[in-house]
């Protein structure tokens, strides 16, 4: 992948019940709208009420699916997944959905999140003689559902929820049903919408629901099991919600598309408020405000509005370069961020610039970006970040790297400023960030504070499971 310094996207899931529709193609376009949440692999499983079929592979949605392989996926029940590997390495055996044959018919599962107790659950399955073919915690979820002691699928889901600890937004496909399930902490988003001609869709982001023409009805609430069916939605509280809940703050800061609604708030509006809060908290004399495109654009608009400093663009992003699997040549690699961004010299020459970015994770691209702006003629570069320093890793499904890789874990803010070589640097305070989001509690902020909402067994590497398989 081309040089980047963002938390790695999680995954995107979609579940569809749509009688008399081509659900495979609907799932394809739904996944297309969720592509930003994972570009390593994707898959769709479809059931026609008797037979379940699956197609999945490595790559992006448009590379994996063709009219021919979608045509083979016939039915009115579907689930889909687009993946970035958080637990389990990047390998086709870890691609989702997972599909297995059970005593009660076929079962397929797609999962967004990460179970913090997966190693324990995995060991228990192996001790009971259950074989595993992948290194993904999502396969553990699938096999636990298959073996859960209950009469119905809802009962099995409810039973398994008692044992799962961590982040899981799931879509589950059985022979004749689709379920949407969200963990009691509510880490990852999951919303439900109604199709205009009958049927329902569940998706990681409400924007994907609108892409399919749905009226967005509600979020799946923490701990809920929602069955998508022909009549009204069947909602069951599978597990009591955690108190307090622990919604991921990073959905607001970076992950979700700006058209998403997360916890009842429009993400674009929240990002504007984050920028406005930065302008109040860290004002500076400057000639222009510019974002690191694209995710920081709303925050730069907010900063410009409050500060009165004109908004402009200083960088043009090659939107597709970060998504390629073709490794750059050595000489292109030396180009670093220049492969991804071009500076607009005419806008920057002689200017004092406020640069808005959403986060600094490993700190490997901010310095080259500042240099790119200076080389283009910027006189001063003041960096403003719309969240606090990331000092702790995430164990709930977001890849931010290890403690040692996180620059804010190793260096003070002044040291980071010197490392990046900008004229000033400010991270938005936790208080101002939560004020901009409009909530005081119910959110996970562990990557900023180290206060994890649930007990983390051990500091585990991303490919923990691989050892068991290799």
Q: Which of 354, 372, 398, 434 binds ligand SF4 (CB under 6 A)?
A: 398
User: Does position 202 bind ligand SF4 by CB under 6 A?
Assistant: no
Report if residue 254 touches ligand SF4, rule: CB under 6 A.
no
Q: Is 396 in the site for ligand SF4 (CB under 6 A)?
A: yes
What is the H or E stretch that residue 56 is in? strand 52-58
Distance, first Cα to last Cα, the chain: 25
**Residue 315, both tokens:** 């960088």
Stretch that binds ligand SF4, among 273-281, 284-292, 359-367, 441-449 (CB under 6 A): 441-449
| Residue 426 falls in which region: left (phi positive, over 0), alpha (psi -120 to 50) or beta | beta
Between CA 190 and CA 276 the distance in angstroms is 28
Nearest residue to ligand SF4, scored by beta-carbon proximity: 394
Name the phi and psi angles at 49, rounded to 5: 100, -15
What is the DSSP code string of 242-274?
PSS--EETHIIIIIS-TT-EETTEEHHHHHHHH
Task: Give the three-class secondary structure for 12.
Answer: strand
CB 6 within 8 A of CB 254: yes
Q: Rounded to an integer, what distance in angstroms lies between the CA atom of residue 5 and that of residue 360?
A: 7
Q: Which residues of 247-268 are buried (b: 16+ CB within 10 A; e: fewer)?
A: bbbbbbbbbbbbebbbbebbbb
Which of 394, 416, 436, 437 forms a contact with ligand SF4 (CB under 6 A)?
Answer: 394
Q: Are strands 234-237 and 352-357 parallel, antiparallel or unpaired?
A: unpaired
Quick one: which of 34, 108, 225, 447 contacts ligand SF4 (CB under 6 A)?
447
The phi and psi torsions of 240 (rounded to 5 degrees) equal -60, 140
Is-contact 171 180, C-beta < 8 A?
Answer: yes
Tell me the closest approach of the beta carbon of residue 446 to ligand SF4, in angstroms.
Answer: 4
Tokens of 8: 């790695």
Q: Closest CB to ligand SF4 among 53 and 462?
A: 462
Closest CA to 375 of 284, 314, 289, 416: 314
- By CB under 6 A, is residue 82 in contact with ligand SF4? no
Q: What whole-number distance in Å separates Cα of residue 200 and Cα of residue 122?
A: 33
**Least CB distance to ligand SF4 at residue 247 (A):** 8
| 256 vs 307, beta carbon nearer ligand SF4 | 256
Distance CA 141, CA 339 (A): 40
Q: And the tokens for 171?
A: 């879509």
3-state helix, strand, coil in the chain (%, to 5): 30, 25, 45
Rounded to the nearest 5°, which phi and psi values hold at 291? -90, 160
Query: Which residues belong to the active site?
Result: 11
Q: Which of 214, 288, 444, 454 binds ligand SF4 (CB under 6 A)?
A: 444
| The CA-based dihedral angle spanning residues 145, 148, 150, 152, taken in that order and rounded to the nearest 10 degrees | 10
Task: Say whether residue 445 binds ligand SF4 (CB under 6 A).
Answer: yes
Q: Which stretch binds ligand SF4 (CB under 6 A): 23-31, 74-82, 220-228, 439-447?
A: 439-447
Q: How far is the CB of 115 from ligand SF4 (least distance, A)?
A: 13
- Per rule CB under 6 A, is residue 77 in the interface with ligand SF4? no
User: Which residue from 84, 153, 164, 250 is in contact with ligand SF4, where contact means CB under 6 A?
Assistant: 250
Q: By CB under 6 A, name the one of 248, 355, 361, 408 that touches ligand SF4.
A: 248
Q: CB nearer to ligand SF4: give 144 or 248.
A: 248
- The answer to whether the CB of 294 falls within 8 A of the CB of 283 is no
Q: Does the protein bind ligand SF4 through residue 187 (CB under 6 A)? A: yes
Applying CB under 6 A, the span of 158-166, 248-256, 375-383, 403-411 interacting with ligand SF4 comes to 248-256
Helix (H) or strand (E) holding 30: helix 23-33
From 77-85, 191-199, 246-254, 256-264, span contacting ligand SF4 (CB under 6 A): 246-254
Which range, of 48-56, 143-151, 286-294, 445-453, touches ligand SF4 by CB under 6 A?
A: 445-453
Decide if residue 446 touches ligand SF4 (CB under 6 A): yes
Q: Which is nearer to ligand SF4, 378 or 398 (CB)?
A: 398
Shortest spacing between CB 98 and ligand SF4, in angstroms: 23
- Kindly tell me which of 99 and 398 has the beta carbon lying closer to ligand SF4: 398
Closest distance to ligand SF4 from the beta carbon of 450 (Å): 9
Would you say 202 and 190 are in contact if contact means Cβ atoms under 8 Å apart? yes
Considering beta carbons, is residue 187 or 311 the nearer one to ligand SF4?
187
| Count of residues engaged in binding ligand SF4, rule: CB under 6 A | 11
Question: Measured from the CB of residue 190, what is the shortest distance to ligand SF4 in angstroms?
Answer: 15
Which residue of 174, 249, 272, 359 would you call a contact of ligand SF4, by CB under 6 A?
A: 249
Among the listed ranges 144-152, 242-250, 340-348, 458-466, the one in contact with ligand SF4 (CB under 6 A) is: 242-250
199 versus 393: smaller Cβ distance to ligand SF4: 393
Site residues (CB under 6 A) for ligand SF4? 187, 248-250, 394, 396, 398, 444-447
């Amino acid at each position: 992948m081309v040089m980047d310094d963002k938390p790695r996207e999680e995954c995107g899931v979609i579940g569809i019940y749509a009688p008399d529709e081509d659900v495979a193609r609907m799932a394809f376009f739904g996944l297309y709208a969720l592509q930003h949440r994972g570009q390593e692999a994707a898959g769709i499983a479809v059931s026609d009420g008797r037979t379940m079929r699956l197609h999945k592979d490595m790559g992006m949605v448009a590379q994996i699916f063709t009219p021919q392989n979608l045509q083979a996926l016939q039915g009115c029940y579907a689930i889909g997944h687009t993946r970035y590997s958080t637990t389990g390495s990047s390998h086709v055996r870890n691609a989702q959905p997972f599909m297995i044959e059970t005593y009660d018919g076929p079962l397929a599962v797609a999962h967004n999140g990460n179970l913090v107790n997966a190693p324990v659950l995995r060991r228990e399955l192996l001790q009971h003689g259950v074989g595993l073919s992948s290194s993904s915690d999502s396969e553990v979820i699938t096999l636990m559902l298959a073996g859960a002691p209950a009469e119905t699928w809802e009962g099995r889901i409810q039973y398994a929820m008692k044992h799962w600890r961590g982040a899981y937004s799931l879509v589950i496909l059985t022979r004749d049903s689709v379920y949407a399930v969200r963990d009691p902490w509510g880490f990852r988003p999951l919303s439900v919408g109604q199709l205009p001609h009958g049927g329902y869709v569940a998706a990681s982001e409400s924007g994907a629901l609108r892409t399919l023409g749905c009226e967005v009805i509600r979020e799946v609430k923490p701990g809920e099991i929602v069955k998508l069916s022909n009549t009204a939605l069947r909602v069951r509280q599978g597990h009591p919600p955690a108190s307090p809940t622990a919604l991921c703050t990073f959905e607001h800061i970076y992950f979700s598309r700006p058209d998403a609604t997360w916890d009842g708030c429009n993400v674009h509006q929240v990002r504007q408020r984050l920028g406005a809060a930065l302008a109040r908290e860290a004002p500076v004399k400057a000639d222009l405000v510019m974002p690191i495109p694209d995710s920081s654009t709303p925050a730069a608009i907010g900063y410009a509005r409050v500060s009165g400093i004109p908004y402009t663009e200083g960088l043009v992003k090659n939107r597709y370069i970060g998504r390629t699997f073709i490794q750059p040549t050595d000489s292109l690699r030396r180009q670093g961020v220049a492969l991804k961004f071009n500076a607009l010299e005419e806008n920057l020459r002689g200017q004092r610039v406020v640069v808005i970015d959403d986060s600094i994770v490993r700190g490997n691209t901010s310095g080259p970006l500042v240099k790119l702006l200076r080389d283009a003629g910027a006189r001063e570069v003041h960096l403003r970040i719309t969240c606090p320093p990331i000092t702790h890793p995430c164990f709930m499904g977001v890849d931010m790297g290890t403690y040692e890789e996180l620059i804010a874990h190793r260096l003070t803010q002044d040291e980071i400023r010197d490392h990046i070589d900008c004229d000033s640097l400010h991270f938005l305070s936790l208080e101002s960030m939560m004020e901009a989001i409009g909530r005081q509690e119910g959110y996970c902020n562990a990557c900023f504070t180290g206060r994890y909402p649930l007990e983390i067994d051990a500091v585990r590497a991303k490919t923990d499971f691989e050892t068991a398989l290799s």
